[in-house]
A and B are shown apart, each in its own frame.
Chain A
Amino acid sequence: MSSADTFPRLLSEHANVRPNAPALREKYLGIWQSWSWADTNREVRQMACGLAALGFKRGDNLAIIGDNRPQLYMAFAAAQCLGGVAVPMYQDAVSAEMTHVLEDAAIRFAIVEDQEQVDKLLEVREGFVSVAHVIYSDPRGLRNYNAPGLQSLEALRALGEGFDNGNPGFFDAEVAKGQSTDVSVMLYTSGTTGKPKGVCQTHEAFITSAKGGVAFDNLSAADNVLSYLPMAWVGDHLFSYAQWLVAGFTVNCPESAETVMIDLREIGPTYYFAPPRVFESLLTNVMIRMEDASKIKRSLFDRFMAVAKRCGADILDGREVSLGDRIQYAIGNVLIYGPLKNTLGMSRIRVAYTAGAAIGPDLFRFYRSIGINLKQLYGQTETCAYVTLQPDRQIKFDSVGKAAPSVELKLAENGEVLVRGPMVLKEYYKRPDATAESIDREGYFHTGDAGVFDSDGHLKIIDRAKDVGRLANGAMFAPNYIENKLKFWSHIKEAVCFGHDKDSVMAFINIDLTAVGNWAERRNIVYSGYIDLAGKDEVYSLIKDCIEKVNAELAAEGELSHSQISRFLILHKELDPDDDELTRTRKVRRGFIAEKYAPLLDALFTGKSMQHIETQVKFEDGRSGSISADLKIVDAKRLPAISKAAA
């Protein structure tokens, strides 16, 4: 592997070693357009020189906002060439949310995708002056804008070319000045608690982490990935930027957020990363379409999925499987698994990862059983995404694997996972207090997650350490753990459980409109929309069923058997990041929800059977309105705890 120790040096090395190999692709006007490594290097150079001409200096922060676009990935490198720091931001954040990051990082320069982002920045600028230069890559709709400091990427590159010609040697000297210990990127935490904090990561941290992963899974320049997850998320930065520049593979950008599934099929990536919800919605789509399929197809599907369930994962893991099963699996592969993988765009996948939330065992087994090498990893923004990885052939659905290369891992007394190694963050931006709080004197980063090691040394994550509470009777209460169990049912999209310091556990449920809608259609239940469907008695009894099954599982889990859900309600609106109920990475903000829906929570705990609620909602265009509903509250059956001995 290369010895280059900063991202700009890695880029110029690729441009020398494989100038004509595709570095980036993007589908535009229906056709996949490619940028070779040489093209990429040249455009980055122009962009960097253009920024320099505008006064961008070593140590400056560059905001990058938009969907995954080749130009925006190049913008990371352009900032880093000048010793600057790339600050990717969530592209679907509303302007008010952006203000915090823009102010915190003192952003003067921003490279953004399109009119939508320009509008937001210009709006923010009215109250706050420091975003002096806004550069956009897609000029549509911007022809008549004449705000000061606003220009197109094309103009910037032209400016850069002129600057480069006038100052030969400037660019190379800047790249040579870069140190591996310089901060390369600042990723903001999702802000599950409090204001987002800027996590400063060095070139060294991400390069070490990326090299670890590349060696672990034998990634090479021949691999292809599809980049469709937010660029501001650490996972995308690792997979589509750090590993891209370390391994030299090809990053493909989808045509638009809506075409990802189509683009996935066309590209057929060899290396794939997605949070569990993506795998889940793919499977839900497959199942819905299978239910509409003809009888013959359905029976073939059922027949061979049963075979896959029996032996598919074992075949993938190289365990012993009888000859009969192997033959059946081979036939199934021709008739069902192969075509299915092709439809999903997963025919060529060698390694797929999922992380960010717990994945349901059935879901996980489904993909492995049809021969997709899906694995789990665990990590966070502060550790460059990797802490643990599942090694090939040592896959367990309930653990997240073993410590990744160069990661030191241990558990604190209260079960909190502690991490040490080069991938741990340098600091939180301008927050020495927070830095001191999360990195201890021995250099261990406190993840805030509670975990246990199993007998094989695999790490198992239970919950956020601070979320683990106690019921009034002193029994352990791990809300996330229960919520995940609930969410494994395809009919439940989100769940929020409450019970700390209480006698019993209560739950808010969000139904999955696609799955429950389809279920209702097949039963001729008429509904007009989410609110209507959520209030149906049939839906309540469907959800009650799911909850009682979860209770049955919990009953067998020792101390957690006290956490069985006694009462629940189905919320009248879907929890939404725009309403601050979820983080941008779709984690529930339990405290905020408890406050916002206090009357509902009271009604649950006081035994009412009905509660009226009125809620403010924010629409995507920034307007707000309110919806109100009368919600039913239903009791669920609890089972007596089953002792370990009896089980």
Chain B
Amino acid sequence: MNEQEHGRKIGDVILKVENISLRFGGVKALTDISFDVREHEIRAIIGPNGAGKSSMLNVLNGVYTPQEGVITYRGQQRKDMNTHEAAESGIARTFQNIALFSGMTVLDNIMTGRNLKIRSSFVEQAFWFGRARREEIENRAKVEEIIDFLQLQSVRKTPVARLPYGIKKRVELARALAAEPSMLLLDEPMAGMNVEEKQDMCRFVIDTNDQFGTTIVLIEHDMGVVMDISDRVVVLDYGKKIGDGTPNEVRNDPEVIKAYLGAH
């Protein structure tokens, strides 16, 4: 899919990863990884199981601190950062294994994504007056827009535990979007979905990128999905980068074919 169809302009590099290495004891999860992400693009990280995809994502939003290498995000260089700082700098994510509050409704789960936007004090919130009340109304309005955007109206008041898997994934995306991120990290958003759910999710990822201009970094196992929706793809294998480029370039890269595509 070209830029025109997305109707957005891919901008400058906003995230630069240089020579990242991550070790857990003697296990090398990532070795000397470098790549960049440009504003408004959909960037995929692919690779076989255990290639280090999720580790890479965890490095990006501060869950892991790499032993070596530098990450530059919007001109700011950092070596280690915690997840809270990542969220405040506009990075939101979803998880491979759904991490929602299963006893809470869809609406309440998405509302938690607005946490960082809340300025009112604990006391104001407890008694629901003044700023707390105004803020809740504003936040609810924003959340309703996201519910509308992701077509979750029919389950708005349903506890998450009662929802099918595909919808839970969508609720996760909704919660991440509630933070109005400038960069969204998606950890296998289509894993375990059926064909129809995958198509819906692809549509939502593309629409998010198109409508809000959100830069998206996604990890995905499903090759078809990645090739269809990404602008550029990084390929990892055994913690090393073996390919980087447009879906077409990657598809024709002999090393990638050997490591990944050939197996399918």
**A-to-B contact residues, CB < 8 Å:** 28-31, 140-141, 143-144, 255-256, 258-259, 262, 621
Contacts and interface: CB of A to CB of B under 8 A. Distances in A.
A118 B145 CA distance: 22
B144 A259 contact: no
Contacts of B154: 256, 258-259, 262
Contacts of B197: none
Given A29-B145, A30-B144, A256 B151 contact: yes
B248 interface: no
A273 to B, nearest CB: 22
10 contacts: A28-B148, A29-B141, A30-B153, A30-B156, A141-B207, A144-B210, A258-B154, A259-B153, A262-B154, A621-B199
A278 to B, nearest CB: 16
A141 B144 CA distance: 18
B90 interface: no
Interface string B1-45: 000110100000000000000000000000000000000000000
Nearest to A30: B144
A530 to B, nearest CB: 14
A202 to B, nearest CB: 38
Interface in B138-154: 140-141, 144-145, 147-149, 151, 153-154
Contacts of A258: 151, 153-154
User: 6 tightest A-B contacts by CB?
Assistant: A144-B7, A258-B154, A29-B144, A30-B144, A259-B154, A255-B153
Contacts of B144: 29-31
Interface of B: 4-5, 7, 140-141, 144-145, 147-149, 151, 153-154, 156-157, 199, 207, 210-211
Secondary structure at the B interface, as helix, strand, loop or mixed, is: helix
Contacts of A143: 7, 210-211
A491 B114 CA distance: 46
Contacts of B4: 144
A646 to B, nearest CB: 53
Contacts, number: 36
Contacts of A29: 141, 144-145, 147-148
Nearest to B4: A144
Given A30-B140, A30-B147, A256-B151, 17 more contacts: A29-B145, A30-B144, A30-B153, A140-B149, A143-B7, A143-B210, A143-B211, A144-B4, A144-B5, A144-B7, A144-B210, A256-B154, A258-B153, A258-B154, A259-B153, A259-B154, A262-B154
A443 B113 CA distance: 66
Nearest to A144: B7
Residue with the greatest number of chain B CB neighbours at <10 A, chosen from A29, A141, A256, A259:
A29
A389 B211 CA distance: 50
Residue with the greatest number of chain A CB neighbours at <10 A, chosen from B5, B141, B153, B199:
B153
B136 to A, nearest CB: 13
Nearest to B203: A141
A258 B7 CA distance: 30
Contacts of B151: 256, 258
Contacts of A141: 207, 210-211
B91 to A, nearest CB: 26
A28 B147 CA distance: 11
B234 to A, nearest CB: 28
Given A29-B144, A29-B148, A144-B7, A256 B199 contact: no
Contacts of A621: 199
Contacts of B207: 141
Contacts of B149: 140
Contacts of A259: 153-154
A256 B153 CA distance: 7
A30 B153 CA distance: 8
A140 B141 CA distance: 18
A259 B5 CA distance: 32
Contacts of B141: 29
